Amino acid sequence: MDVTAEELAGRLEDEALTVLDVRSPGEYSGQTGYPCDPRQGHLPGARNLDVQELLGRSPAEVRELVGLPEGAEIVCYCHSGQRSAMASEALCAAGYDAKNYAGSWHEWSRHPELPGEGS
């Protein structure tokens, strides 16, 4: 299941939701990124867990990495929605209520009214 920028923006303060940035640490921090994006960084309060850490792991290993109880609500995002779609699948297989923000940072960075952290 996908969420929109509007839905996600409305829930950034919701403590029941974990926002997971599955890009590389450099993309998350804003030190690296894509020149097509008007700004670099990450969504406020987002945790960073590179999708490469999730792939090929058992559900138990994924739960250990994520550190949240089964059934926790998670929204994943990356740069363009592809890595976050893979991460969402791995998280769902591990028992999480995971959704994908398909627009991801590529969309979010184009809206100056939406908050961001990083460079």
Domain ranges across the chain: 2-108
Q: For 56-75, what is each residue's pLDDT tens digit?
A: 999 999 999 999 999 999 99
What is the Cα–Cα distance from 118 to 37, expressed in whole angstroms?
13
- Cα-Cα-Cα-Cα dihedral of 38, 39, 45, 50, to 10°? 90
The DSSP code for 118 is: -
Residue 112 pLDDT > 90: yes
Residue 107: the pLDDT is: 97
Q: Is 78 noted as a catalytic residue in this protein?
A: yes
Tell me which of 36, 76, 78, 92 is the catalytic residue: 78
Query: Please, are residues 69 and 62 in contact by the beta-carbon 8 Å criterion?
Result: no
Q: Which fold has domain 2-108?
A: Oxidized Rhodanese; domain 1 (3.40.250)
pLDDT tens-digit series, residues 7-31: 999 999 999 999 999 999 999 999 9
Question: Tokens in use for 5?
Answer: 């920028």
Residue 119 has a pLDDT of 61
What pLDDT, on a 0 to 100 scale, did the predictor assign at position 43?
98
